[in-house]
Amino acid sequence: MPDVTIIDVDENNIDKYPPVCFLNPKNEGYQIKRAWLKNRFAEGLKIKLLYVKNEKKSVGFIEYVPGEYAWRAVDAAGYLFIHCIWVSPNKYKEQGYGSLLVEECMQDAEQAGKYGVAVVTSEGPFMAGKALFVKNGFTSVAQAKPSFDLMVKTIKEGPQPQFRDWEQQFHNYTGLHVIYANQCPWVARSIKDLTEIAKKNGLELQVTELKTAQEAQNAPSLYAVFNIVYNGKLLVDHYISNTRFQNIIKKELQ
């Protein structure tokens, strides 16, 4: 595709090529994600940015890891696992850029001798939908409510990825909990706000950071990166605004 450049981002050049979702480099969320990545690069995490001519910022992004280090509630050993993929702004969607990034991951998987590539999709916020992956030859091997799909494209025969039994984790959480990981910079920047909101409403919010991929794979939701649990019930499984949290308190906890 003409006028397209794909940059491999690593520890040496990430400050030169920051994905826009990382926010301003001076933002706390960026700095927290940057620290998180320092260890993840050593585990085989890869980030690729897609640039088009005449755009200063990247318009496409993909992040993926060896399945053993996936920060989702999945078993995907032997595969590459996609954490995130996006194309933005909207004028660049439906032009094949997302497929280019998926193909980059597939090529890396083949070169590394992996069984294939896996990803969890959702029609909800903060996760890619399944349409892009269906278009690129992925198939759904597992589903979960409300709209999660474990999508896989195989390269060679091997064990099939699967969801972990995340619901069995609920019994570990009595009271109000936020369980999160710094894999998403937007999540990290909200923790202080949510703690203060809970305190103003007379609630004790217990905060648990998932610090390893193994801990994330045993989170109480498939997305794993952000969870609000109250007395064994999952209230939220993705990043939310302060206003939404206040509404949840009024509806569910008071």
| Residue 1 pLDDT class (50, 70, 90 cuts) | low
Residues 32 and 92 in one domain: yes
Residues 131 and 189 in one domain: no
- pLDDT tens sequence across 152-208: 999 999 999 999 999 999 999 999 999 999 998 887 668 888 999 999 999 999 999
Residues 101 and 182 in one domain: no
Q: Does residue 5 contact residue 57 with C-beta atoms inside 8 Å?
A: no
Residues 106 and 226 in one domain: no
Q: What is the average pLDDT across 40-65?
A: 95
Residues 114 and 39 in one domain: yes
Q: What is the average pLDDT across 43-54?
A: 96
Alpha helices in the chain (DSSP H): 28-42, 97-111, 131-135, 185-188, 191-200, 213-217, 242-248
- pLDDT tens sequence across 63-75: 999 999 999 999 9
pLDDT for position 127: 83
- Structural domain total, the chain: 2
What is the average pLDDT value for the chain, to the nearest integer?
Answer: 93
- pLDDT tens sequence across 74-98: 999 999 999 999 999 999 999 999 9
Residues 150 and 175 in one domain: no
| Residue 2 pLDDT class (50, 70, 90 cuts) | low
Q: Give residues with Cβ within 8 angstroms of 44, minimum separation 6.
A: 65, 66, 69
Structure tokens at 148: 């999660």
